């Protein structure tokens, strides 16, 4: 990290960009009352965020020691200084009215030294001062890493694991932890406990080897409102200890108090206003033996703000804020000082907390009565005598050299310092309200003494003016000439007793308005200060947001693969980030931010910061992913200084497709022209995580929505360790690496997956291998189907093509109990790697998250990722709580022709209306609430729907609350649909039920969620045809051949594959093809229909041979003779564990081609015998219904055609018919694959030679 510079000693050279100060610094020699310590000399740069500041051990801040230059630079690296110096002023009188005081300004004298004091006597030694003349610098990141490292060791010892060495292979405990000054020297009377530390084993002694560490509240458990102990704060922290007894007070000439001051300077790295802030905490312990009365503690600040000679000061009473702002709209360069230019900023110091008020036995309230206050802390908190002062006085004075009133200039003597602390000028007169505040100014009202100079309008109750409100007063309204100002904020009076412990905490805030009056930057400053105040009130627990992920790359030829991971010391490890926002105050609101997703940006250069990601000239979004839920687009309402209002800003337009950890990048988003990544050119990327909270939706147009969440999106402000790092990548051909590397596959490829047990696809589109298909066609069922590379039921994906390992792998679902519908919702998985199938076990990897999280888990040592997602079925809007009313997602649908010029299969197109084209009943039409020709009022008296008129509106009810969005109605132009949504009421519908009163029950059991993914193949290869029933679709039996009832088997003789009667009875024919359930590996039973009245359109020949006629010349439907076809399901009851469901078997050709063993033929015999159970079994097992005609000018079966339907299937336990007790994983999903065909080949001499031949000349990529 680069935020800590080399230690600097007094007398060092002039620092570039530091600024000059011109002042008057008297030398004061007083009586010797100390340990003859030398002035402290250590200084360190603090520059973690957008501020570069120098911190001293000597008691003041920011000034370059011994020189009239300063170093408090905002923005960092601008060369412009916002502040010059600051120091504590402490003073009170003893029982004899003798002043005891310590203060500092510009180090021309010295009142503070380093090191602790002894208890009781408040003594020190010169050696002690020298030993502690240093900053003890720590970072919260380093402490978090140490804690994670040590805890990993504890876990390893408990669990017998080796996590510590795996996650921290080269870790060394930092010296900042080993050398932490946790204890004083009790042999000379110092306090045993010095710098705060976390005592892991509670033995009271600091020992880092036992896991103790400098105490940052990394688990955020401390409640600072009730816990007075001081921990370390910030991302970067400087701790040191001072005293005022090390020598004589040459700054003020005053007697020492005997004060030990344990000091902290700290800052945070963030992507908001806090990035422009620094903070300081002083724990003051009175080691003196005397009680001091009328005591005041204060903080002196000398501003610079670019050109220091044109500034104003002011204060905000309620905020406890003192500030500097420019006297005009332009801050120019002046006498070697660099100015801010147009629209100069403002800088301020918030006096968060001061000393305790004197005890009065009362829980004092916020207010202006005695004992009350309008700033500070502990007022009205129900804790008696817990009140701590905030800013109780605010005064300014000017540089001696600029013609100011001598009574209003730099203090010269101890009494001057004390007067300022109390609210008096150096001449002993009070501050008066108005003008310059001095009695000599006619604009100063001598009837109104005041405590706060230039409060503007921030003291409407007159707290600083004796309870008498006053008009607005600023330096602008007073017409004061701008000058080189200083100010002091003080708190008191109070009684300081021996041993008393107090705290002073201040924050330095910087802000810049985009335009307007100079005071506009003060308004921006106040808004930033509100965030600083909130941070203080929350114990400086910054809302971290999820840590940025670790971004890594594999560089390939004209492309890169980016991967994301979260180490164990990340607050988003396993994507489990959750953080409470303390400023969401209602107990009834969701107060927690939770991890939501990632964003990856390409940057224009390596110096672009995270705060600039919204600048399209510097950063462009490469990839985004987020948790699959109902959150996608996220809009923040962020304050815009230019319009003085909150504006909506889209922070995320989410894909809502689940969390991914690998991304393939081949395009340069900053390219001019050709966008392809260029080999050997440098590219820069950064990744952030983001979190979401929307406790209440903010609506600026709704008074009831104004208290909603303006900031639902927060993004990473840091990495697990340090700042968020930019990744540099250089694409190149990897072939020469490792003595010749052969990349067998590209990113995103996958192995051939074999299903060994269980069922489901998790939203993956499946493609069986040709050999598996052939076996299914011939045998009817394959217990362990194999899927094409990258098309299996689990997503095993190559993410590092240069590191794919060879081996045989088995993935087993584990550690879950099935739901009532047999689903494996909470399953984890484990993958075992073997040298070969049946070979030696090598290693295993377990899932980090269960499958109900759509999570891509990268296994870098194998070069792959695994993403297994339980994509659950769900209730459509308005559906009941019955499981069979659930639906699933249609993943894809297609029809392909072996010869694409012969598209001979066409649909009967579905369309809404009161006509048989409306054969798919998706939507919300309910005719029972309208009129019809059947009934004068409604359709509730309709008779058997098989005999309704096709012209009657009652014939076209939609299946309500199942497909209101009509997703299923548009498959292949409306040519195929789920059985459940297929119309059956009235003539010309593609399905009819034989005399079945329970049709509603059967259709409900044909649940959309149980639909199989199928391949339906039409082929002229008669050896692959399916023996099947032919169903009568004519609705008037008297007009049908043989008087067959609608829904019965056709009454014509059964035929062979050539369409000739085969002497086996009636009703059976051949479908010219087959259907396969690609999840189950089963060939499916089929049937098709005919309307035997439509003889001239092949409706009575027992052959599946639709014509191209849709309607006749009279507008009567023909639909090609009504050759609808039906695809049955496989084992619905077993797969879904639903008692009312039915198990239909696979179509086994050797059995089904014989009527005696054809399950469907025999079931239809029972149906025609009016066996209700057979009707329920058959009709509830129909999954898909096709409704085709012959294409225009086409020939039937002129080329093979395949309808491919893919739907999401939940992972479920499943015991297949050939193994009813369960497979190798007891019915739980289990899969295997081999990487022999995709593993990376290393050490290929031929590849190396080829690659070297290409490297003779490397072209200039630019």
Instruction: Report the SS3 class of residue 440.
Output: coil
What is the model's pTM?
0.78
Whether the CB-CB separation of 876 and 964 falls below 8 Å is answered with yes
Mean pLDDT of 511-538: 91
pLDDT above 70 for 846: yes
- Which of the residue ranges 227-236, 565-574, 766-775, 814-823 has the most confident prediction, judged by mean pLDDT? 766-775
Instruction: Report the SS3 class of residue 231.
Output: coil
User: CB neighbours of 837 closer than 8 A, spacing ≥ 6?
Assistant: 808, 1232, 1234
User: pLDDT band for position 706 (50/70/90)?
Assistant: confident
User: pLDDT band for position 21 (50/70/90)?
Assistant: very low
Query: For strand 753-757 and strand 645-653, is the pairing parallel, antiparallel, or unpaired?
Result: unpaired
Q: Write down the pLDDT at residue 16.
A: 37
Among the residue ranges 179-193, 571-585, 796-810, 1155-1169, the one predicted with the least confidence is 571-585
Start-to-end CA span in the chain (Å): 32
More confident residue, 765 or 737: 765
pLDDT above 60 for 1127: yes
Q: Write down the pLDDT at residue 608.
A: 92
Chain segment 291-335, per-residue pLDDT in tens: 999 999 999 999 999 999 999 999 999 999 999 999 999 999 998
Whether the CB-CB separation of 563 and 661 falls below 8 Å is answered with yes
pLDDT above 50 for 1206: yes
User: pLDDT band for position 931 (50/70/90)?
Assistant: very low
Mean pLDDT of 147-163: 92
Chain segment 67-101, per-residue pLDDT in tens: 778 999 999 999 999 999 999 999 999 999 999 99
User: pLDDT band for position 12 (50/70/90)?
Assistant: very low
Whether the CB-CB separation of 1048 and 1036 falls below 8 Å is answered with no
User: pLDDT band for position 244 (50/70/90)?
Assistant: very high
Residues paired with 830 in a beta bridge: 812, 846
- 1000 sits in which H/E element: helix 999-1005
Q: Write down the pLDDT at residue 673.
A: 86
Query: For strand 713-715 and strand 662-665, is the pairing parallel, antiparallel, or unpaired?
Result: unpaired
pLDDT above 70 for 833: yes
Mean pLDDT of 105-132: 94
Q: Write down the pLDDT at residue 19.
A: 34
pLDDT above 80 for 583: no
Pairwise CA distance, residues 650 & 632, whole Å: 11
Pairwise CA distance, residues 799 & 779, whole Å: 37
Q: Write down the pLDDT at residue 171.
A: 93
Q: Write down the pLDDT at residue 20.
A: 33
Question: What is the CB neighbour count within 10 angstroms for residue 878?
Answer: 11
- Six token digits for residue 1020: 């002229």
pLDDT, mean over the chain: 90
DSSP 651-665: EEE---SBB--EEEE
Instruction: Report the SS3 class of residue 576.
Output: coil
pLDDT above 50 for 875: yes
Chain segment 1026-1036, per-residue pLDDT in tens: 999 999 999 99
Q: What are phi and psi of 238, to 5 degrees?
A: -110, 120
Pairwise CA distance, residues 1179 & 1087, whole Å: 12
């Amino acid at each position: 990290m680069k935020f800590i510079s080399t230690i600097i000693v007094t007398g060092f050279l002039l620092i570039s960009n530091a600024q000059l100060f011109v002042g008057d610094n008297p030398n004061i020699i007083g009586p010797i009352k100390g340990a003859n310590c030398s002035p402290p000399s250590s200084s360190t740069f603090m520059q973690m965020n957008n501020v570069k500041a120098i911190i001293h051990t000597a008691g003041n801040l920011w000034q370059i020691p011994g020189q009239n230059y300063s170093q408090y630079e905002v923005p960092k690296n601008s060369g412009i200084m916002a502040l010059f110096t600051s120091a504590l002023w402490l003073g009170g009188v003893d029982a004899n009215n003798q002043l005891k005081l310590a203060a500092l300004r510009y180090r021309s004298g010295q009142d503070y030294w380093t090191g602790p004091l002894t208890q009781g006597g408040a003594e020190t030694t010169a050696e002690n001062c020298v030993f502690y003349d240093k900053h003890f610098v720590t970072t919260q990141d380093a402490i978090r890493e140490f804690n994670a490292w040590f805890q990993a060791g504890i876990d390893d010892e408990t669990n017998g694991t080796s996590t510590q060495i795996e996650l921290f292979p080269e870790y060394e405990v930092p010296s900042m932890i080993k050398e932490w000054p946790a204890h004083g020297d009790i042999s000379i009377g110092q306090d045993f406990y010095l710098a705060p530390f976390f005592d892991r084993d509670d033995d009271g002694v600091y020992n880092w080897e036992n896991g103790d560490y400098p105490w940052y509240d990394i688990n955020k458990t401390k409640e600072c409102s009730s816990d007075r102990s001081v921990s370390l704060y910030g991302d970067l922290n400087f701790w040191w200890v001072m005293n005022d007894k090390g020598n004589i007070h040459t700054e003020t000439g005053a007697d020492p108090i005997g004060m030990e001051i344990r000091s902290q300077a700290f800052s945070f790295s963030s992507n908001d206003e806090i990035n422009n802030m620094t903070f300081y905490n002083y724990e003051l312990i009175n080691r003196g033996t005397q009680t001091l009365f009328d005591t005041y503690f204060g903080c002196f600040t000398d501003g610079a703000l670019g050109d220091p000679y044109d500034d104003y000061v002011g204060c905000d009473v309620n905020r406890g804020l003192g500030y500097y702002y420019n006297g005009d709209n332009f801050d120019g360069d002046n006498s070697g000082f660099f100015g801010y230019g147009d629209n100069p900023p403002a800088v301020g110091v918030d006096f968060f907390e001061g000393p305790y008020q004197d005890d009065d036995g009362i829980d004092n309230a916020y207010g202006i009565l005695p004992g009350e206050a309008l700033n500070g802390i502990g007022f009205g908190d129900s804790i008696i005598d817990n009140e701590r002062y905030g800013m109780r006085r605010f005064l300014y004075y000017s540089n001696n050299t600029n013609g100011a009133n001598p009574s209003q200039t730099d203090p010269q003597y101890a009494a001057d310092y004390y007067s300022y602390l109390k609210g008096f000028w150096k001449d002993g007169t009070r501050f008066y309200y108005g003008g310059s505040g001095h009695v000599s100014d006619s604009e100063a009202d001598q009837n109104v003494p005041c405590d706060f100079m230039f409060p503007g309008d921030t003291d409407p109750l007159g707290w600083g003016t004796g309870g008498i409100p006053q008009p607005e007063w600023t330096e602008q309204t007073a017409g004061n000439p701008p000058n080189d100002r200083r100010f002091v904020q003080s708190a008191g009076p109070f009684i300081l007793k021996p041993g008393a412990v107090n705290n002073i905490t201040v924050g330095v805030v910087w802000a810049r308005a985009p335009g307007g009056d100079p005071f506009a930057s003060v308004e921006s400053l106040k808004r930033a200060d509100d965030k600083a105040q909130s941070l203080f009130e929350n114990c400086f627990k910054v809302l971290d947001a999820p840590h940025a992920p670790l971004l890594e790359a594999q560089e390939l030829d004209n492309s890169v693969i980016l991967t994301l991971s979260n180490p164990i010391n990340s607050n988003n490890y396993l994507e489990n980030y959750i953080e409470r926002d303390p400023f969401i105050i209602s107990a009834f609101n969701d107060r927690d931010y939770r991890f939501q997703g990632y964003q990856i940006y390409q940057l224009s250069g390596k110096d672009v910061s995270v705060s600039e990601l919204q600048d399209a000239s510097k950063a462009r979004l490469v990839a985004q992913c987020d948790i699959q839920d109902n959150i996608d687009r996220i809009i923040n309402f962020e304050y815009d200084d230019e319009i003085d209002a909150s504006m909506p800003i889209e922070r995320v337009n989410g894909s809502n497709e689940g969390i991914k950890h690998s991304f393939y990048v081949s395009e340069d988003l900053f390219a001019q022209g050709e966008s392809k990544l260029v080999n050997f050119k440098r590219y820069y990327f950064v990744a952030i995580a983001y979190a979401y909270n929307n406790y209440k939706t903010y609506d600026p147009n709704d008074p009831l929505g104004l208290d909603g969440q303006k900031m639902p999106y927060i993004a990473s402000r840091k990495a697990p360790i340090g700042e968020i790092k930019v990744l540099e990548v250089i694409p190149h051909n990897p072939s020469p690496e490792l003595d010749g590397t052969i990349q067998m596959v590209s990113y995103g490829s996958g192995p051939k997956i074999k299903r060994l047990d269980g069922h489901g696809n998790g939203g993956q589109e499946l493609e069986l291998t040709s050999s598996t298909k052939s076996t299914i066609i011939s045998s009817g069922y394959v217990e362990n189907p194999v899927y094409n590379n990258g098309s299996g039921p689990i997503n095993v994906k190559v993410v590092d093509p240069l590191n794919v390992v060879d081996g045989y792998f088995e993935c087993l679902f584990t550690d879950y109990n099935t739901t009532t519908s047999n689903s494996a919702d909470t399953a984890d998985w484990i993958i075992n790697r073997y040298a070969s199938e049946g070979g030696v076990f090598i290693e295993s990897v377990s899932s980090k998250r269960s499958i109900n999280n759509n999570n891509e888990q990268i296994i870098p040592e194998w070069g792959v990722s695994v993403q297994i997602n339980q994509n659950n079925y769900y209730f459509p809007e308005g559906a009941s709580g019955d499981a069979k009313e659930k639906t699933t997602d249609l993943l894809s649908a297609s029809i392909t022709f072996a010869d694409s010029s012969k598209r001979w299969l066409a649909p009967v197109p579905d369309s809404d209306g009161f006509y048989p084209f409306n054969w798919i009943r998706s939507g919300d039409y309910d005719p029972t609430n309208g009129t019809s020709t059947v009934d004068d009022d409604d359709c509730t008296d309709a008779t058997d729907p098989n005999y309704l008129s096709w012209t009657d509106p009652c014939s076209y009810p939609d299946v309500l609350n199942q497909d209101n969005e009509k997703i299923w109605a548009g498959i292949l132009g409306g040519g195929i649909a789920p059985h459940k949504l297929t119309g059956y009421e009235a003539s010309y519908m593609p399905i009819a039920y034989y005399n079945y009163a329970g049709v509603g029950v059967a259709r409900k059991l044909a649940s959309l969620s149980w639909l199989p993914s199928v391949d339906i193949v039409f082929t002229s290869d008669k050896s692959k045809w399916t023996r099947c029933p032919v169903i009568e679709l004519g609705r008037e039996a008297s007009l049908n051949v043989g008087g067959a009832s609608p829904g019965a088997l056709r009454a014509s003789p059964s035929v062979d594959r050539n369409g000739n009667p085969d002497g086996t009875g009636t009703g059976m024919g051949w479908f010219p093809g087959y259907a396969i359930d690609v999840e189950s590996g089963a060939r499916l039973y089929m049937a098709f229909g005919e309307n035997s009245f439509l003889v001239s359109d092949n409706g009575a020949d027992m052959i599946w041979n639709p014509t191209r006629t849709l309607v006749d010349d009279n507008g009567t439907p023909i639909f090609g003779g009504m050759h609808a076809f039906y695809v049955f399901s496989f084992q619905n009851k077993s797969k879904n564990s639903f008692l009312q469901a039915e198990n239909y078997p696979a179509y086994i050709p050797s059995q089904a081609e014989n009527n005696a063993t054809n399950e469907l033929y025999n079931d239809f015999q029972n149906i025609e015998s009016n066996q209700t159970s057979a009707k329920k079994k058959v009709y509830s097992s129909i999954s898909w219904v096709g409704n085709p005609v012959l294409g225009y000018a086409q020939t039937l079966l002129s080329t093979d055609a395949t309808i491919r339907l893919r739907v999401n299937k939940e992972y479920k336990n499943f015991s297949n018919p050939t193994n009813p007790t369960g497979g190798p994983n007891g019915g739980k999903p289990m899969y295997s694959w081999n990487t022999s065909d995709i593993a990376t080949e290393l050490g290929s001499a031929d590849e190396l030679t080829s690659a070297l031949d290409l490297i003779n000349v490397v072209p200039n990529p630019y």
